[in-house]
Structure 1
Amino acid sequence: MRRGRRKFDDDEADFVKRGRIEPALSEDPDLPETGDRWSTWDNALHGPDPLPEWVRTEHGAVDTELGMLKTGKEADVYLVRRAVPDTDKVSLLAAKRYRDGDHRLFHRDAGYLEGRRVRRSREMRAMTNRTAFGKELIAGQWAAAEFDALSRLWRVGQEGGTISVPYPVQLIGTELMLEFIGDHKTGEAAPRLAAVRTDREGLEDLWRQMTEALSVLARTQIAHGDLSPYNTLVHEGRLVIIDMPQIVDLIANPQGAEFMARDVRNVANWFTARGLRVDQDELIERLSYEAGLL
């Protein structure tokens, strides 16, 4: 009997999953009285300034895992509450944990990694040959690349307001902690674009936001690399781009233009299927010009 392809939240519309999910937060020998671990803020690489006021930086903050938000081919995302005990200083975060080399299920990484280099030849050889050490380096690159891309794009969004991404709170190894996009009272994540049902006016507004976001990416000379209605959230009418570990440098990567065009077609086809007429070729040509590819 032929086994079907394993499906992930990257492919389907269900987003929030309830209940205690393993693996739990990494344990600290000096555990707090409540919660799962002390905040890891002090030992992490921090997001860009200015820090949003909701980011908890207190030494006494405690992290508590509330359940899984999303499972994907290269990482799982958990809902984490970071709070200072006995105060109202609380924030909800999305903790994205990249799998190690033996457990990742995303194997089409060669094309995305073109244009990325590491300084040491030993590390480059390990990544090229996909040794155990090389796979660990690649997992770290995914997390670092997403953290860097979100930091850059968050700054652009703050300055121009034409692209929205989750604020990257911190990075430690292969764990990336992000702004939670959704209802902070219920812990329910914002729906993905694929699950949104709206009228024509709503579709036109979402398409406008999408083209503006694509334009920002092009002018920054990067492509999302895997953009689709399944890794785009809609929160209170605002389009939020997520999942950027495979970010592609349009100049350094020889396949950059192809990745950008594929991103456009992936999202344009969704809008077209819902009755909105869009000109994919014109948009691809304009983005190529803005990226300096023409």
Structure 2
Amino acid sequence: MRDQNFASPRRRRFDDDDPTFLKRLSHDFDTAWDVAEEPAAESAEAGEAGEGEWTSWDSPGVQHGPEPVPDWVVTDLGARDVDRGVLKTGKEADVHLVERGVPGTDRRMLLAAKRYRAAEHRMFHRDSGYLEGRRVRASRVTRAMAGRTAFGREAIAGQWAAAEFAALARLWQLGVAVPYPVQLLGTELMLEFVGAPDGTAAPRLAQTRPDLDGLESLWWQLVDALRILARAGLAHGDLSPYNLLVDGERLVLIDLPQIVDVVINPNGTDFLARDVTNVARWFTGKGLRIDPEPLIVELLHDAGVR
């Protein structure tokens, strides 16, 4: 087992409950994405025939991700959005795989559409601690949220989606490895799909079995990301091996609706310490012994709370 020494100044550049993953999708992506062969034309013809809905890119009230918009994002108003199946179900939101493409062309992309559940089907069982320090302008809305009325629960759902969208946009601009937030419309957040062109999602860190060199690389990528968050006064708030993706050799942070302002939130330091402890425990269990305390102290100092 390899010990990790935080005394080294080494710097490298670079959610909820256990989710349920549904592996069957409603489309053969080998045909949809191999644009050099005839099946791609069949996919385009399906779009021309009316498969899916017109893109929501220009829908009233939609918010777009930060500029510059990556070249791979399909913004054509003639594009169609086709739901290809469920990637993940959770107590608070479901994640669908959506293909957005322009009929008759090879312009297409995959998106992860995170859809927060309606009030009667949702269980925001830990929202009170995360929402401390967050306020909305209308006092009526604040009271409704505090009282967990039906209207208040809807407001909380909207705040979760908006908070995750804003967090992803900010972290993307700071250079943290997160999915690019393509758009937000109501309580549906459309994100960059992290995975293969055939619709196979990148595995969660908890699903991987890297060797010691791979573990060390992933750990230092995580440390770099946590340092950037801390310097911005933030903590993930619910960090675990289940909301980190391993995309090839790259570690990607996901599931950020509960992102915490370490300074404003009275529980901020506890959330940050728990984040580090959770992931350090996983890495230690895989053979890279991590003492979380030195990193916790460093991050709190970077966040300006100690």
Taking structure 1 as the reference length, what is the TM-score of the superposition? 0.89
Decide whether the 8 Å contact of 1:191 with 1:233 is kept in 2.
Answer: yes
Deviation at 1:179, TM superposition (A): 0.2
Which of 168, 193, 205 in structure 1 is aligned with 2:181?
168
C-alpha deviations, 1:109-159, integer Å up to 9, x for none? 1000000001111111100000000000000000000000000000111xx
1:11 aligns with 2:18: yes
Which residue is equivalent to 2:49? Answer: 33
Which of 75, 78, 90 in structure 2 is aligned with 1:57?
75
Deviation at 1:18, TM superposition (A): 1.1
Matches within 5 A, 1:158-237: 163-184=176-197, 186-237=198-249
Deviation at 1:208, TM superposition (A): 0.4
> 1-side partners of 2:114 and 2:63: how far apart?
15
> 2-side partners of 1:78 and 1:35: how far apart?
17
> Would the alpha carbon gap of residues 265 and 17 (structure 1) be closer, same or farther in structure 2, given more than 3 Å must change?
same
1:147 aligns with 2:165: yes
Which residue is equivalent to 1:46? Answer: 64
Aligned partner of residue 54 in structure 1, secondary structure: coil
Deviation at 1:73, TM superposition (A): 1.8
Decide whether the 8 Å contact of 2:262 with 2:269 is kept in 1.
Answer: yes
Which residue is equivalent to 1:27? Answer: none
Aligned partner of residue 81 in structure 1, secondary structure: strand
The one-letter amino acid of 2:243's match is: N
> Would the alpha carbon gap of residues 94 and 9 (structure 1) be closer, same or farther in structure 2, given more than 3 Å must change?
same
Which residue is equivalent to 1:112? Answer: 130
Which residue is equivalent to 2:102? Answer: 84
% same residue: 62
The one-letter amino acid of 1:177's match is: M
Q: Of the two structures, which has the highest relative contact order with CA contacts closer than 8 Å and spacing of 6 or more?
A: 2
Deviation at 1:19, TM superposition (A): 3.6
1:255 aligns with 2:267: yes
Q: Count the aligned residue pairs.
A: 271
Deviation at 1:17, TM superposition (A): 2.1
The one-letter amino acid of 2:296's match is: I
Decide whether the 8 Å contact of 1:74 with 1:98 is kept in 2.
Answer: yes
Decide whether the 8 Å contact of 1:38 with 1:63 is kept in 2.
Answer: yes
Aligned partner of residue 113 in structure 2, secondary structure: strand
Decide whether the 8 Å contact of 1:15 with 1:191 is kept in 2.
Answer: no
Which residue is equivalent to 2:35? Answer: none
Taking structure 2 as the reference length, what is the TM-score of the superposition? 0.86
Aligned partner of residue 288 in structure 2, secondary structure: coil
Q: Runs of 5+ in structure 2 lacking a partner?
A: 1-14, 28-46
Which of 84, 88, 93 in structure 2 is aligned with 1:75?
93
Decide whether the 8 Å contact of 1:147 with 1:176 is kept in 2.
Answer: yes
> Would the alpha carbon gap of residues 36 and 256 (structure 1) be closer, same or farther in structure 2, given more than 3 Å must change?
same
The one-letter amino acid of 1:168's match is: P
Q: Runs of 5+ in structure 1 lacking a partner?
A: 1-7, 22-30, 158-162
Decide whether the 8 Å contact of 2:48 with 2:104 is kept in 1.
Answer: no
Aligned partner of residue 127 in structure 1, secondary structure: helix
Decide whether the 8 Å contact of 2:204 with 2:242 is kept in 1.
Answer: yes
Which residue is equivalent to 1:24? Answer: none
> 2-side partners of 1:101 and 1:225: how far apart?
23
The one-letter amino acid of 2:23's match is: K
Aligned partner of residue 91 in structure 1, secondary structure: strand
Decide whether the 8 Å contact of 1:32 with 1:38 is kept in 2.
Answer: no
Which has the higher Rg, Structure 1 or Structure 2? 2
Aligned partner of residue 189 in structure 1, secondary structure: coil
C-alpha deviations, 1:68-91, integer Å up to 9, x for none? 111112100000000000100001
> 2-side partners of 1:227 and 1:144: how far apart?
19
Which of 105, 110, 133 in structure 1 is aligned with 2:151?
133
